[in-house]
Amino acid sequence: MGLRHNKASSQMQLALALRDRLPKVLGLYLDGKVSYRVVSAIAWHTHLVNEDAPMASIDAALVKQAALWGRLSDYKLDQAIEAWVDRYDPGALRRMQYRARTRSLKVGDRDDESDLTSVRGRLYATDAEVLDRRLMEIAHGVCEDDPRTIAQRCADSLGALAAGADRLACLCDDPNCPSGGDDGRASNVVVHVVADETAVTDKPDPEMNGEVTQANTPEAEANAGKPSAALLMGGGIVPTPLLAELIKHGAKLRPVRSFADAAPEPRYTPSAGLQQFVRCRDLTCRFPGCEAPAEFCDVDHTIPYPVGPTHPSNLKCLCRKHHLLKTFWSGWGDQQLPDGTVVWTTPTGQMYKTLPGSRIFFPAWDTTTAKLPQWRPPADQTDRGVMMPRRRRTRAAERTKRIREERAFNDAYVAERNRPPPF
């Protein structure tokens, strides 16, 4: 269905909560009287209710009110739900350390433009103040001839800070500028970018910095027709002028070796060059719908070694979760073609085809390698799952443990609130 693992897991948890804990609210949802947003909020705010009686009372109360909550803001919706939780099970309110537990920092979103990535989150107010002051300090450390606006310098300062630098390289192009040189973004951290030959010969573009003018609007850029032929291994387009800027400040170039006529390697672990080829060809995990970057994936033998050779036509990238599923869960099958295409067969017999990412972003790159002999897996694989690594605790046990711990934080508050007034 093209869902990420985390999104699919959250939807399954919501389905279980509605079926097992909120059957009356589920009925409203199935009748179309409440939205997905409302039932998600209800499931979240009732998550700590761990006894049947208060849960049933809350479910019955909410079903009479929830149909009226569709137009409420998120804040008012939370307050409306918490009022009923507080009435029947005050220890289940997500109040103690709640705001502190919601702090997070997320880099990237599905709706981001291809060449820019959003960063959003919630920090302690003190940390946010420190970060803001530090970024402004670094942003003002370049000379007055730097072409970037203050906002652009702050954005670039965060990248320099992440690379371990305490300064930002000035872009004034004055060889005698005391703020010139490398600020660590091109040399201190390894970030893999896959690009074709034409991309690495481009030059920095001065129009990428400064105020927006009529000459650098999206319409003008579209008419200019500059190609973006560089791709972060983790996803996202790198504009070729930015790639040129990184190369100018020390980013290393390494050509990807061709394995079109290569012989199998006489070992289980692929050589560094072969691994690089497979990762650049695949770009992501090759399981249907998975977007895990190839640099964090295992290099899997489609036909198990030593029957299957260590050869690019028999190697692909799989994240650890899907590697374990393919290896130990009986019923899954995969067939790899010389051009890198992988055909998956599910335990129910459905078939899905995944193409290497390079076919989409670098269509001129021919990744076809030698064809291997046909291989059929053994007929009896019923005991494969016995070797599957197991969790120390089930997911249900983990959820129960977290609920118990969070409710323990609320006990002191509830006890204080229920204490009789002094005489």
DSSP string, 115-138: T---EEEE--HHHHHHHHHHHHHH
Report pLDDT for 379. 56
The rounded distance, in Å, linking the Cα atoms of 130 and 116 is 25
Averaged over 327-339, what is the pLDDT? 88
pTM: 0.65
> Tens digit of pLDDT for each residue in 23-32?
999 999 999 9
SS3 content of the chain, % helix, strand, coil (to 5): 45, 10, 45
pLDDT at residue 400 greater than cutoff 60: yes
pLDDT at residue 218 greater than cutoff 60: no
Report the candidate in 103, 238, 240, 226 with the shortest Cα–Cα distance to residue 159: 238
User: Do the bridges between strand 351-354 and strand 342-345 make them parallel or antiparallel, or are there none, so unpaired?
Assistant: antiparallel
Sorted by sequence, the CB contacts under 8 Å of residue 357 that are 6+ apart come out as 231, 281, 282, 283, 284, 294
Per mean pLDDT, which of 52-56, 69-73, 218-222, 382-386 is the most reliable? Answer: 52-56
Compare 404 and 415 and report the one with higher pLDDT: 404
Report pLDDT for 316. 96
The pair of three-digit structure tokens given for residue 92, joined into one six-digit string: 């289940």
Average pLDDT value over all residues in the chain: 83
> Tens digit of pLDDT for each residue in 289-305?
888 889 889 999 999 88
The rounded distance, in Å, linking the Cα atoms of 97 and 237 is 39
The rounded distance, in Å, linking the Cα atoms of 25 and 39 is 7
pLDDT at residue 74 greater than cutoff 90: no
> Tens digit of pLDDT for each residue in 351-384?
999 999 988 888 888 999 998 877 665 555 555 5
User: What percent of the chain lies above the pLDDT cut of 90?
Assistant: 31
With the CA atoms of 310, 313, 317 and 322 taken in that order, what torsion angle do they form, in degrees rounded to the nearest 10? -90
Cα 238-239-242 angle, rounded to 5 deg: 90
pLDDT at residue 236 greater than cutoff 80: no
341 backbone dihedrals φ, ψ, rounded to 5°: -65, 140
CB 208 within 8 Å of CB 294: no
Report pLDDT for 223. 41
User: pLDDT category, 221, cuts 50, 70, 90?
Assistant: low
Per mean pLDDT, which of 54-58, 158-162, 306-310 is the most reliable? Answer: 54-58
pLDDT at residue 96 greater than cutoff 70: no
The rounded distance, in Å, linking the Cα atoms of 344 and 7 is 22
Report pLDDT for 278. 95
Report pLDDT for 220. 47
pLDDT at residue 87 greater than cutoff 60: yes
Neighbours of 82 (CB within 10 A): 18
**Among 17-26, 142-151, 407-416, which is the least confidently predicted range?**
407-416
Report pLDDT for 310. 93
Compare 207 and 173 and report the one with higher pLDDT: 173
Averaged over 118-138, what is the pLDDT? 86
Per mean pLDDT, which of 16-25, 84-93, 168-177 is the most reliable? Answer: 16-25
The pair of three-digit structure tokens given for residue 142, joined into one six-digit string: 């370049």
pLDDT at residue 8 greater than cutoff 90: no
